[in-house]
Amino acid sequence: MKQRPATIRGALVHPVPRGARVVVILVVALSAFIITLTANAHASIVSRNTVTISQTGLHVFSINGRQFGVTTAIHVLTFNGSQYSIALGLAHQAIDGGLQTPSSMCQSTPNCVAAVNGDYFDLNTTGSPGPGDEVGGIIQDCVLLHSPEISHQQVDLDGHSVSTGLNWSSTLTVNNVSVPITAINQELPLSYSNVSLPLTGTLLFTTPYALPTPAFGGRTTYEFTQVGGTSSPTTINTTATLDYVGETTGAVRVGAGDVDVSAPLGSPLAELQMGDAVSLATTSMAGCNNIGGHPILIDQGVVAPINQADAFMVKPYARTVIGWTATGVTVLMTVDGKDAVSGATAHQLDSVLESLGVVTALDLDGGNSTTFFASGRVLNKPSQGTEHPVSTALLVIAAP
């Protein structure tokens, strides 16, 4: 969304027979009760349609949001413990690698049983290729893949916490001189939601970056091969050793195992000789799996203030949210809707989340992007009628 931005493994999926309706309702109500022990309100958990009951800790269900003023469908997935986890999915497994539907990302990932859409992304003008330029920071499996392009809220998927930005730094040491990295794997210059960011600083690109490096006057791209350190040059809280192998003023794609650095004239990198070694240190306290979103809805039990100037939050929209209860239950939730017409406002969204006992939550991309994939199909009704390709997704992975 351009804003700001057949069976689940281990689960039973079936229509509810009339004779068994009372038993099913009791089972689902019990599951819901466990989740909502700390809630301030109580949602109607069982829909009149298909009910999914897990025997292994995964629960997929619909709730009735009318008591909160929400008249569109609300879908929820919850789990607790080590049998499932949340993983970050990238379109075509690349940064700025185009767009892909959450269902396709899930189906191409081993042991994935469900998915929702992820962070906001930038779209190029109509008729030009859409790289799906991610907006927020991305750390996947302890590797910093993308630095935030604008001030953007983040969520630590492993630490179950939210933050107002991504804590990170990356520095090249060239002939005993420290050169700070301005951005990692960003498509610049950036034009997004009336924001135009100039091409400045020292820009670093690694193999996961799918686009050519920038080629502008007054800049040189220095090419390196990793010869030491961890498996990825931007693994957080590590140092990698790189050998200088060449330079160009043209646009190039980053080769496998390489690191390319675009720097302005006068950079200390201009003094490098062929074969010289430099070190790249990358640090972050944001955890090993981190993705962006906007805004923070609830933080450690405190409902965040709603910015009345933010029309996307004040008006009803389709929504996608990730959150956790006080007991560590992971909650993924979508609300169907049509831009500025139906769905949930931020206030309504907070009320629904509190009814589920959620104490920490981040709003993800919504509107056309909102997708809830489970049971081998898209369960929600996307606002444009079909599932919308996106840049990132959150995947529910079953333990092997």
Same domain flag for 75 and 30: yes
pLDDT band at 360, cuts 50/70/90? very high
Tell whether 190 is covered by a domain: yes
**Residue 139 counted as domain residue:** no
Q: What is the DSSP secondary structure assignment for residue 253, as one 8-state letter?
A: P
Mean confidence (pLDDT) of the chain = 86
What is the amino acid identity at position 398?
A
Task: Supply the pLDDT for residue 361.
Answer: 98
In the chain, pLDDT over 90 holds for what percent of residues?
74
What's the sign of the alpha-carbon dihedral 343, 345, 346, 349? Answer: negative
Contacts (Cβ under 8 Å, ≥6 apart) of 260: 204, 205, 213, 221, 222, 223, 224, 252, 254
Please state, as a whole number, how many other Cβ atoms lie within 10 Å of the Cβ of residue 266. Answer: 8
Task: Please indicate, yes or no, whether residues 177 and 235 belong to a single structural domain of this protein.
Answer: yes
Compute the average pLDDT of residues 96-119.
97
Q: Does any domain span residue 233?
A: yes
315 and 278 in a common domain: no
* End-to-end Cα, the chain, rounded Å: 33
Same domain, 276 and 323: no
Confidence at 192, pLDDT banded by 50, 70, 90 = low
Note down the domain range covering 187. Answer: 169-283
Instruction: Return the number of other C-beta atoms located less than 10 Å from residue 230's C-beta.
Output: 16
- Is 154 within a domain? no
Note whether residue 316 is domain-resident: yes
* Sign of the dihedral through C-alpha 201, 146, 137, 161: negative
Q: Is residue 119 part of a domain?
A: yes
Q: Phi-psi region for residue 57, left (φ > 0), alpha (ψ -120 to 50) or beta?
A: left
Q: Which residue has the tokens 């980053």?
A: 254
Averaged pLDDT, 356-380: 97
pLDDT band at 225 (very low <50, low <70, confident <90, very high): very high
Does pLDDT of 46 surpass 60?
no
- Between 47 and 213, where is the model more confident? 213
Q: Indicate if the alpha-carbon torsion angle 86, 90, 92, 93 is positive or negative.
A: negative
Residues 267 and 307 in one domain: no
Whole-structure pTM value: 0.86
Q: pLDDT-based confidence at 267, cuts 50/70/90? A: very high
Q: Which of 113, 81, 116 is nearest to 13 (CA)?
A: 113
At residue 85, the pLDDT reads 97
Q: Are residues 278 and 299 in the same domain?
A: no
What six digits make up the tokens of 90? 């990238």
Q: How many domains does the chain have?
A: 2
Burial group, residue 39, by CB count within 10 angstroms (0-12, 13-18, 19+): middle
The number of CA neighbours under 13 Å toward the Cβ of 152 is 26
pLDDT over 60 (residue 295): yes
One domain for residues 196 and 273: yes
Q: What confidence tens digit (pLDDT) does each residue in 305-317 have?
A: 999 999 999 999 9
CA angle 6, 8, 9 (to 5 degrees): 115
- For residue 228, list its beta bridge partners: 241
Please say if the pLDDT value at position 55 is more than 80. Answer: no
pLDDT band at residue 11 using 50, 70 and 90 as cut-offs = very low
Q: Tell me: do 332 and 261 sit in the same domain.
A: no
Residue 50 has pLDDT above 50, yes or no: no
Q: If DSSP codes are grouped into helix, strand and coil, which group holds residue 27?
A: helix
Residue 43's pLDDT band (boundaries 50, 70, 90)?
very low
* pLDDT for residue 57: 87
| Residue indicated by tokens 């009149």 | 48
Q: Which pLDDT band holds residue 47 (cuts at 50, 70, 90)?
A: very low
Residue 133 within any structural domain of the chain:
no
Strand order from edge to edge, sheet including 177-180? 177-180, 169-174, 277-283, 238-248, 219-228, 258-264, 203-206, 183-184
pLDDT of residue 196: 66
Contacts of 65 (CB under 8 A, 6+ apart): 43, 71, 72, 74, 335, 344, 348, 352
Q: Percentage of residues in the chain with pLDDT exceeding 70?
A: 82
pLDDT over 50 at 233, yes or no? yes
State how far the Cα of 317 lies from the Cα of 67, in Å rounded to an integer. Answer: 17
d(CA 138, CA 135): 9
- The answer, yes or no, to whether residue 369 has pLDDT greater than 50, is yes
Range 143-167 average pLDDT: 96
**Domain boundary at 236, 260, 283, which?**
283
Q: CA-CA-CA-CA torsion for 85, 90, 91, 95, nearest 10 degrees?
A: 180
4 and 106 together in one domain: yes
Q: Is residue 16 part of a domain?
A: yes
Q: Are residues 254 and 201 in the same domain?
A: yes
Domain boundary among 283, 318, 351: 283
Q: Answer yes or no: do 102 and 183 share one domain.
A: no
Least confident of 33-37, 87-91, 343-347: 33-37
Which amino acid, 260? D
Residue 294 pLDDT > 60, yes or no?
yes
Which contacts (CB < 8 Å, 24+ apart) does range 99-103 have?
99/130, 99/132, 99/389, 99/390, 99/391, 100/389, 100/390, 101/371, 101/387, 101/388, 101/389, 101/390, 102/371, 102/373, 102/387, 102/390, 102/393, 102/395, 103/371, 103/373, 103/377, 103/378, 103/387
Is the same domain home to 209 and 265? yes
pLDDT for the residue numbered 328: 96
pLDDT tens digits, one per residue of 377-398: 999 999 889 999 999 999 999 9
At residue 198 the predicted structure's pLDDT band, cuts being 50, 70 and 90, is confident
Average pLDDT over residues 358-376: 97
What is the Cα–Cα distance from 255 to 257, expressed in whole angstroms? Answer: 6
